[in-house]
Amino acid sequence: MSALICGSIAFDTIMVFHDQFKNHILPEQVHILNVSFLVSDLRREFGGCAGNIAYNLGLLGGEGKPMGTVGSDFAPYAEWMDRVGISQDHVRFIDGSYTAQAYITTDQDDNQITAFHPGAMNSAHEVKVSECTDCTIGIVSPDGRQGMIEHAEQFAETGTPFIFDPGQGMPMFDGDNLLKFVDQATWLAFNDYEAKLMQERTGLSPEQMAQRAEAVIITRGGEGSSIYTRDKVYEIPVASALSLEDPTGCGDAYRSGLLYGLMNDMDWDTTGRVAALMGAIKIEHAGTQNHKFSRDVFDVRFKQTFGYAL
């Protein structure tokens, strides 16, 4: 069984400013803002929701095929995907474009200033769900707006079960758009803030959405997560992390656990715990695709964390 992972494929350029932004930004002068921050630490990471989810799913032993669009600068990322065994069957090059990229500067208070260039991601709708003939489950994660709309429609038309995970793409859609996604998707996944925004825009509570989809999954950071189904709410405890290095990409790691559980017919209690442990392992490492483990190690840690074997 393969999962088709529709979403962004991007470079993340992460810079650290060893001071506080507030010491260099005058609130009364923001209308003529002209500042420069000297960043002594810089790293370039392979990221994007589709790439991150596929990477994490592969660590668990599942097969995820990212589907997205990239630009002329993609070669280093392509080499990385080959090295770690991520399929490029549904990655399309867009001439004259750069691969999507985020430029993130973080200060000592963990405040962030981010500039995001979508580049080739805006052409995500040019790749079609029908191109993956052996994918039996899917996910629509943040991507180009038209791509998210068309990929959800294509999953629904072919009867392929899929997770709708709007993430940071939520602001692109109004209430009517989001209601349509609710009716198309098999499962819905949000963080706590996104769930509140979803309710505000659609008028539907998580319980009400769970009557229209098979399940609604809401992550709550250090408070664990909740999985709403039509007749029950599963409260998933947080998995303790050995250290707290970098939360970037934890949501994608969690979603890989959801896909793995669904692909292997696990119950919701176990699926949620696999997802929670994936998030905990990710937060222990800087970057979104720098962590790794053997499946035996994961199974041992799962039993130690939750008290039963997978």
Average pLDDT over residues 232-238: 98
Residue 18 placed within a domain: no
Residue 54 contacts residue 145 (beta carbons within 8 Å) = no
C-alpha angle 179-183-188 in degrees, rounded to nearest 5 = 85
pLDDT in tens, 178-231: 999 999 999 999 999 999 999 999 999 999 999 999 999 999 999 999 999 999
Note whether residue 240 is domain-resident.
yes
What's the confidence (pLDDT) of residue 30?
Answer: 87
Does residue 42 lie within any of the structural domains?
A: no
Note down the domain range covering 272.
2-8+49-95+121-305
Alpha-carbon dihedral 242, 246, 64, 196, rounded to 10 degrees: 100
Which two three-digit tokens encode residue 199? Answer: 């309710």
Instruction: Give the CA dihedral 132, 136, 100, 71, nearest 10 degrees.
Output: -10
Beta-carbon contacts of residue 34 (< 8 Å; ≥ 6 apart): none
- Residues 71-92 have a mean pLDDT of 98
Out of 64-78, 98-112, 165-179, 246-260, which region has the weakest mean confidence (pLDDT)? 98-112
Q: Which of 12-16, 69-73, 183-187, 299-303 has the lowest mean pLDDT?
A: 12-16
Q: Which residue has the tokens 């963080």?
A: 191
Burial label for 41, CB within 10 Å (0-12, 13-18, 19+), is exposed
Q: How far is Cα 56 from Cα 253, in angstroms, rounded to an integer?
A: 6
Residue 249 lies in a domain: yes
pLDDT, tens digit, for every residue of 100-124? 999 999 889 878 898 999 999 999 9
Q: Is residue 115 part of a domain?
A: no
∠ Cα 172 178 184 (to 5°) = 125
Place of tokens 């949000």: 190
The CATH number of residue 208's host domain is: 3.40.1190.20
pLDDT mean over 290-299: 97
Q: Coil, strand, or helix at residue 129? A: helix
Q: In this predicted structure, what is the pLDDT of residue 111?
A: 87
Reply yes or no on whether the pLDDT at 171 is more than 90.
yes
Q: Is residue 106 part of a domain?
A: no
Work out the average pLDDT over 152-172. Answer: 97
Q: pTM of this prediction? A: 0.94
Residue 185 lies in a domain: yes
Q: Which pLDDT tens digit goes with each residue over 272-289?
A: 999 999 999 999 999 999
Task: Give me the number of domains the chain comprises.
Answer: 1
DSSP code, position 237: P
Q: Residue 303 above 90 pLDDT?
A: yes
Residue 183 belongs to some domain of the structure: yes
The span from the CA of 29 to the CA of 31, in Å, is: 5
Nearest to 97 by CA among 6, 7, 9: 9
Q: What is the pLDDT of residue 52?
A: 97
